[in-house]
Amino acid sequence: MRIALDVSILHAPRTGIGEYALQLGRALQKVPELELSLFDGLRWRDDFPEAPRAGYGTLSQIVKAILPNAYQIRRQLMQRRFDRGTKHVQPEVYHQPSLWPLRFDGPTVMTLHDLTHVHYPETQPRDRLRAIERHLPIALQQASRILVDSQFIADEITHHYGVPHNKLQVAPLGFAPRFQPRSEEQLRMRLATYQLQMHSYYLCLGTLEPRKNLDLVIAAYLTLPDRIRQRMPLLIVGGRGWRQEQLKRIPHSAQAQGQVRLLGYEDENCVAELLAGAHALLFPSRYEGFGLPVLEAMASGTPVIASECAAIPEVAGQAALYVDPDDVDGCRSQMLALLDDDTLQATLREEGRQRARQFSWERCAQITVDTYRTAGHF
């Protein structure tokens, strides 16, 4: 099968959808029956963009300031390049791994990761939100098949858009090889860089925006005894998203003493090593279509304290400690319970690794290939 895969998302700083496009694409390249052609929005290629385009975010903001309809113009230019390329590539199936596809005469598979635009429309730039609201319902109608990361999202799409379940296919995500248990010696240089001790810090991962619910973690952490905060700093790793009020509530003294540390966006290897060395991943998100950091933490042998919301329990099962996303005292209690119980720590590390073994990019790729077959009637 000749497959066209859009990888234009890889020009942006890597987040969950970018990781999906990259890791799924690499797994698909190993499937003998597939001939994979990659479209990066500018040109067709055989390899993946390995790093975000330099200055991508700044350039995007400048272009949007100059051209109010920049998003629509960009899509039109991509469509022209895509059309020219398909005449030569002649794909039998086209797969768009992020939101709605470009126009294509043949069978189209799209992946819809979540309905953030429905629940949190404020997180989308205004022109992009208008485009989503205009184009996504049509794309869901016209797509041959729709891939989703979880049954939770499949049910949401059916409920909100009326898409029949037999058009949807759940393909759970996987984790990259860099997410694995590490010894203290393996992490020595990384931990020394941040003046950290093995298993002696909490970690939050994800784009900094309200639905990630950092307020809960910050409030719970600040109620811990000072002696604990002195030896167990809270690291917050992620690019800045929409609204930053929760970060303004961090006392200056907590940051000055190194108790709460805002590291910003870090590269993938740094994130993997910090995750493997953490005492626990704190993931209190209110809404996730999957919750990739939860799986990556479990694969790394790191305990997870997460909110029991959306698709998160579908990923973590019984291998995590859960909290109500509005219960500060409950979050604090779980943090203390894990801190004081070596047996619980060991149990969560082992159960997390076992749970993670149920997920892989190879499995995701095989389900995706089966979906291509169904879409193309092969």
Q: What is the pLDDT of residue 130?
A: 86
Q: Kindly state whether residue 179 falls inside one of the protein's structural domains.
A: no
Query: Could you tell me how far CA 60 lies from the centroid of its own chain?
Result: 21
Within 8 A by CB and 6+ apart from 5, the residues are: 21, 25, 28, 36, 37, 38, 39, 95, 97
Same structural domain, 165 and 241: no
Q: For residue 183, tell me if it sits in a domain.
A: no
Residue 165 lies in domain: 2-174+360-376
> Are residues 165 and 197 part of one domain?
no
pLDDT of residue 245: 54
Per-residue model confidence as pLDDT tens digits over 224-258: 999 999 999 999 998 766 545 556 667 777 777 78
Co-location of 315 and 368 in the same domain: no
Q: Do residue 202 and residue 167 come from a single domain?
A: no
The DSSP result for 53-92, as a single string, is: PTTHHHHHHHHHHH-TTHHHHHHHHHHHHHHHHHHHH--S
This model's pTM is above 0.75: yes
Can you list the residues of the chain whose pLDDT is less than 50?
58-59, 243
Give the DSSP letter string of 235-282. Answer: EEE--B-S--HHHHTS-HHHHHTTSEEEEES--HHHHHHHHHH-SEEE
Q: What is the pLDDT of residue 124?
A: 73
Whether 182 maps to a domain, the answer reads no
> Is there a single domain that holds both residue 261 and residue 365?
no
Q: What is the CATH number of the domain that holds 195?
A: 3.40.50.2000
CA 172 to chain centre: 12
Distance between CA atoms of residues 211 and 207, nearest Å: 10
Across the beta sheet with 202-205, the strand order is 260-264, 234-237, 202-205, 280-283, 304-307, 321-323
Same domain, 364 and 323: no
DSSP character for 110?
A: E
Q: Evaluate whether residue 52 is within a structural domain.
A: yes
Residues 100 and 72 sit within 8 Å (Cβ to Cβ): no
Instruction: For residues 93 and 63, state if they share a domain.
Output: yes
How many whole angstroms from its chain centre is CA 291?
Answer: 6
Taking the alpha carbons at both ends of the chain, their separation in whole angstroms is: 9
Do 313 and 338 belong to one domain? yes
| Residue among 227, 208, 229 at smallest CA distance from 285 | 208
